[in-house]
């Protein structure tokens, strides 16, 4: 295969075990030769000689949440481009199960991408040293992180609602043990203060459709807020569905906003206004960060990668009702 690719035998071997160390041109020559010769590297043999498996572990809190499949798919595609295999685990929104998954997979992977990790600080101190780790949608000092700029997104939203005549909103908060939930809440409170919007905050909620349904049931028993902003798109779908079932007109009586930019939020009727996160880029950039950490393990931490958020106005938001 080295002769077909026009490179040395050692280069072929190292492209498969440490692809991040080579230029795209060199990698593509080797991969093209491998495809031409129907060659597949023996990962087990490579692991014995190099200490590397050619696998990375992807851990998500809940695959049923439509935020995560798009991120995971992008991470898988980016891994495949680097000749790496991605192993997937679902922690069922449980920090202890997340730790168990990391320990179970640590011997079979070269590193981890932890999406919206719920690990407690003492757990991170124990399992974060098992393999190189990148945190996605959570900031952890001392580790590579890929985040979104929640404050930038919330500023767009509060200005948009203010322009529609809203003077306040109710925020349906996310889980108490979620870094992203706390980050999003702090960003909304700051953006609301800057815009002059009154922000009322609910008790913490599980990030699901049922939580949105239950919250809407409570809303219809009291004076309705003019706008409801939800922790994520799934909750916003639950709120919207139950409000409509209860005879509340959306957005004429209540505007509803989600977070995430999931495809599902745009497919429903009415389509849900959302703050769209670049889900695919989060997944692919996380793989890049992991490979960079492998290639330069002693490099000084450059700080987190922060991606922008885009407001996508749709049918669930409108002008504030006139009392």
> What DSSP assignment string belongs to 229-285?
EESSHHHHHHHHHHHHHTT--TTTT-EEEEEE--HHHHHSSSPPEEEE--HHHHHHH
Distance CA 303, CA 297 (A): 14
User: How sure is the predictor about 22, in pLDDT bands with cuts at 50, 70 and 90?
Assistant: confident
d(CA 134, CA 25): 27
Q: What percent of the chain has pLDDT over 70?
A: 87
pLDDT digits 0-9 by tens, 46-85: 443 445 799 999 999 999 999 999 999 999 999 999 999 9
Query: Does residue 12 have a cis peptide bond before it, meaning omega lies within 30 degrees of 0?
Result: no
Percent of the chain with pLDDT over 90: 79
Average pLDDT over the chain reads 90
E strand or H helix at 209:
helix 209-219
pLDDT in tens, 235-272: 999 999 999 999 999 999 999 999 999 999 999 999 99
Cα distance between residue 218 and residue 203, in whole Å? 12
Token pair, residue 213, equals 């349904």
Residue 17 is predicted with a pLDDT of 61
Peptide bond between residue 86 and the one before it cis (omega within 30 degrees of 0) = no
Question: Residue 25's pLDDT is what?
Answer: 81
**Residue 302: both structure tokens together:** 């450059």
Is residue 12 very low, low, confident or very high in pLDDT (cuts 50, 70, 90)?
low
Segments of 154-194 assigned E as strands: 168-172
Tokens of 23: 């230029």
* pTM (2 d.p.): 0.83
């Amino acid at each position: 295969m080295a002769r077909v690719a026009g490179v040395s035998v050692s280069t072929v071997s190292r492209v498969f075990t440490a692809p991040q160390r080579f230029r795209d041109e060199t990698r593509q020559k080797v991969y093209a030769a491998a495809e031409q010769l129907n060659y597949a590297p023996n990962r087990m043999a490579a692991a014995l000689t190099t200490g590397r498996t050619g696998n990375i572990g992807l851990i998500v809190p809940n695959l049923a949440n439509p935020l995560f499949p798009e991120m995971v798919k992008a991470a898988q595609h980016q891994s495949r481009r680097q000749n790496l295999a991605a192993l997937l685990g679902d922690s069922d929104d449980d920090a202890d199960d997340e730790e168990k998954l990391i320990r179970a997979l640590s011997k079979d992977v070269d590193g981890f991408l932890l999406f919206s990790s719920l690990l407690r600080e003492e757990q991170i101190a124990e399992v974060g040293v098992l393999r190189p780790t990148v945190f996605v949608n959570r900031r952890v000092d001392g580790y590579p992180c890929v985040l979104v700029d929640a404050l930038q997104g919330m500023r767009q939203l509060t200005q948009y609602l203010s322009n529609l005549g809203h003077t306040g909103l109710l925020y349906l908060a996310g889980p108490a043990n979620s870094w992203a939930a706390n980050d999003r809440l702090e960003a909304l409170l700051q953006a609301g203060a800057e815009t002059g919007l009154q922000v009322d905050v609910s008790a913490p909620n599980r990030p699901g459709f049922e939580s949105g349904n239950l919250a809407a049931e409570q809303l219809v028993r009291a004076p309705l807020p003019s706008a409801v902003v939800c922790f994520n798109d799934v909750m916003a779908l639950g709120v919207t569905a139950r409000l409509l079932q209860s005879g509340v007109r959306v957005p004429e009586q209540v505007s509803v906003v989600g977070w995430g930019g999931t495809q599902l939020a745009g497919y429903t009727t009415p389509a849900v206004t959302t703050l769209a996160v670049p889900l695919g880029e989060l997944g692919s950039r996380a793989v890049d960060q992991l490979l960079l950490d492998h290639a330069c393990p002693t490099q000084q931490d450059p700080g987190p990668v922060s991606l922008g958020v885009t407001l996508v106005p749709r049918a669930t938001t409108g002008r504030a009702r006139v009392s």
